[in-house]
Amino acid sequence: MRLTTNRSLKYIRFWLSYVFIYPGFVTFLDSFLKSNMRIVVSGLGIVSPIGSGIDQFWSAAINGKNGIRSIQCFDSSNNRSRIAGEIADFDPKSFLKNKQIEQTDRFTQLALHAANQAMEDAGSLDCYEPRRLAVSLGSGMGGFATFEASAERRLQNKAIPPFTVPRTMANSAAAWIATQYGLKGVNLTCSTACSSGGNAIGMGLDLLRTGKADVVLTGGAEACVLPLTIAGFEALHALSTGFNDDPEHASRPFAAGRDGFVMGEGAGILVLEREEAAKRRGAKIYAQLAGYGCACDAAHIVAPDMDGQVAAMETAIRDAGIKPETVDYINAHATSTPLGDIVETNAIKQVFGAHAQNIAISATKSMIGHTIGASAAIGSIAAIMSLQTGIIHPTVNLDEADPECDLNYTPNQALKKSANVALCNAFGFGGNNVSLIFATV
């Protein structure tokens, strides 16, 4: 009996040590490993409705340039939302061959254009094995333009283009980037609606931390200013319909009178690698990608839920090993929907408490609309450029804030603010929430 009791005590001690000591050790080990393997951003590329190339985009963003216009790429007279953030001067012939243009959807072409910039910006990656070079890309709709065009032909009993499937598939852009640059490592595509690009960047971080790649080209691309996608979001009453005659005032995150989001298109690409290796090859280092958090609302397929957003931000902060009060800037998801902007405001207050009032917040979507799967990548680029330049771009169209949106959203004018830590939010249908944390190095 005594023997049994002693054995029981030993077991209890063992399990107590497991419960109380092991998690502490894991946390210690985790932070030790992270502190010795910082992941940095060493290349950027962007195509957006307010400019292509980092310099052009950032100059436009800090000057509050507006990229929302009446839809040009199709006759939208039968739509209730007739405005969008389109890339008006995009010419794939300037960087793709005839056959490549025929074999690629517009979202892939936008991704390739941004990837070309990012690869040039990153400099030579010849010191790495091709099998260690990965791609992790996000897109909500993939090649939906191709899908729509081919479906229309099929319904008219016409032949469809032979590259319909490889143009439409969501991983087309990632595959083309890999093919163009001989990136023979992991090749992933993430489709989590409006948070796709955020998840893709987080997956890229994980690939580097777990040693599954040495470099990751990551980000998002979207090109769905299209009759069916516009009609689809209209049917959900998600799009702005009250500003068709005044497009520049339609995307108005946190503002009184906002009535939905404005569709946008674009692509943003980041080059990620380990800091030590980046320094060794003499790369320009923009920032550290310090943390990634992801959480599902598990509540509603389209309505946002504060708890999921809080969980994503808290997880990212914990992952980065920082204190919430060190966050200087938030690039908000802020789509300009009546409910979404309030929920995000409340989530930020919940996570940061009194410090929420000290944080500069801004909404890139106020200038370019909602680029769906590219939005987190573009928001991340804005956050990184804020760290680099000490300037926070404004949220335009914010003359009068919604009384329920009462934080500092950097209204209408850029703000000079030295920032060391920036958080980027991306929330998507399906209740998917992503937060990324960038920090100065």
Positions touching other proteins (CB under 8 A) are: 97-100, 102-103, 159, 161-163
H/E element holding 16? helix 2-20
Residue with tokens 């310090």: 290
- What is the 3 state secondary structure string of 95-142? CCCHHHHHCCCHHHHHHHHHHHHHHHHHCCCCCCCHHHEEEEEECCCC
Task: Provide, rounded to whole angstroms, the least separation between the CB of residue 168 and other proteins.
Answer: 15
**How far is residue 143's CA from residue 175's CA, in Å, rounded to a whole number?**
13
**Residue of 410, 260, 404, 302 lying closest to 345 (CA atoms):** 404
Task: Provide, rounded to whole angstroms, the least separation between the CB of residue 436 and other proteins.
Answer: 38
Task: Provide, rounded to whole angstroms, the least separation between the CB of residue 161 and other proteins.
Answer: 6
Asked if residues 177 and 196 have their Cβ atoms less than 8 Å apart, the reply is: no
Question: Given 113, 190, 194, 424, which residue is catalytic?
Answer: 194
Tell me the three state secondary structure of residue 187: strand
**How far is residue 382's CA from residue 385's CA, in Å, rounded to a whole number?**
5
Asked if residues 317 and 351 have their Cβ atoms less than 8 Å apart, the reply is: yes
Task: Provide, rounded to whole angstroms, the least separation between the CB of residue 166 and other proteins.
Answer: 9
What are 313's two structure tokens?
A: 């931000």
Task: Provide, rounded to whole angstroms, the least separation between the CB of residue 157 and other proteins.
Answer: 12
Contacts of 178 (CB under 8 A, 6+ apart): 135, 184, 187
First to last CA, the chain: 61
**How far is residue 197's CA from residue 293's CA, in Å, rounded to a whole number?**
13
Residue with tokens 């090993």: 321
Task: Provide, rounded to whole angstroms, the least separation between the CB of residue 97 and other proteins.
Answer: 4
Q: What is the DSSP letter of 394?
A: P
Count of residues in the chain = 441
Question: Given 113, 190, 224, 370, which residue is catalytic?
Answer: 370
Asked if residues 296 and 432 have their Cβ atoms less than 8 Å apart, the reply is: yes
Closer to other proteins by CB, 1 or 159: give it.
159
Q: How many CB atoms lie within 10 A of CB 169?
A: 18
Q: What is the DSSP letter of 265?
A: -
Q: Does 194 qualify as catalytic in the annotation?
A: yes
Closer to other proteins by CB, 143 or 428: give it.
143
Task: Provide, rounded to whole angstroms, the least separation between the CB of residue 150 and other proteins.
Answer: 11
Tell me the three state secondary structure of residue 145: helix
Q: Does 405 qualify as catalytic in the annotation?
A: no
Question: Given 333, 393, 405, 424, which residue is catalytic?
Answer: 333
* DSSP per-residue codes, 337-368: -HHHHHHHHHHHHHHHGGGGGGSEEE-THHHH
**How far is residue 305's CA from residue 162's CA, in Å, rounded to a whole number?**
42
Closer to other proteins by CB, 78 or 98: give it.
98
Q: How many CB atoms lie within 10 A of CB 100?
A: 17
Task: Provide, rounded to whole angstroms, the least separation between the CB of residue 96 and other proteins.
Answer: 9
Q: Does 333 qualify as catalytic in the annotation?
A: yes
Closer to other proteins by CB, 97 or 237: give it.
97
The catalytic residues are 194, 333, 370
